[in-house]
Amino acid sequence: MSNEITIREALMSDLDALLPLVDAYRAFYKQESDLESTRSFMRNRLQSPMTNVFLAEGKFGIVGFAQVFETYSTVRLAPMFILEDLFVDPQQRGAGVGTALLQRVVEFAKKRGAGGMFLETAHDNETAQRVYDRAGWTRETEFYKYNAPL
C-alpha cells in the first residue's frame, strides 16, 4: 500500500466527505441512492458509542471506510465486534487499502478486549473474500445464519 494512505477514526466533520463512499457501497448492494437518509444514518452512527467508523485517507481524500459495531458474547464473556461495512473506492482497489482497514479494525478490537470479530459478505463477492482470506480471516463452518421475518 502506498505510504500516502493513512487509516484513522472518522470524525463528525468527515460526514460530507464520507457520504459518496457510503452511497457507492449501498449501490454495490443494489440499494437506491438516498443521500438524505444516508446522511442521517451515518450522522447517528458517528455519534453512537457502539459504533466506530475508520477512514482510509490519501491525497485524493477519503478512499475507503470500515464500520464496526460493538456487541457482546455471553459465551465468551467479552465484547465482540461486527465488521458491518468495508468499502474501498473502485479506482483505489488493489493498493492494499482494504487490507489496511482490516488490520486497523482488528487492532481496535484487540485493544478493546474483544473475544472476537466477525463479518458477512455476499456469496458472489469473491474480490472481498480474497482480501479476507489473505488477511487471515476464516470462513464460518460451525454455525448457520438465520434472518427474522420482519
Closest CA to 101 of 138, 55, 51, 46: 55
**Can you tell me whether residue 137 is helix, strand or coil?**
coil
Q: Are 119 and 106 in contact (CB under 8 A)?
A: no
The pLDDT score that the predictor gives to residue 88 is 95
pLDDT confidence of 145, banded at 50, 70, 90? confident
Q: CA-CA distance, 27 to 29, in Å (whole number)?
A: 5
Give the torsion sign (CA, 59, 102, 147, 116): negative
Residue 80 C-alpha cell reads as 465482540
| % of the chain residues with pLDDT over 90 | 85
Rounded to whole angstroms, how far apart are CA atoms 111 and 66? 17
Largest Cα span, the chain: 46
* pLDDT at site 1: 46
Walk me through the domains of the chain, giving residue ranges and CATH numbers. 6-134 (3.40.630.30)
Q: pTM score > 0.95 for this model?
A: no
pLDDT band at 2 (very low <50, low <70, confident <90, very high): very low
Q: Could you read off the pLDDT of 20-75 as tens digits, one per residue?
A: 999 999 999 999 999 999 999 999 999 999 999 999 998 889 999 999 999 999 99
Contact 118, 82 (CB under 8 A): yes
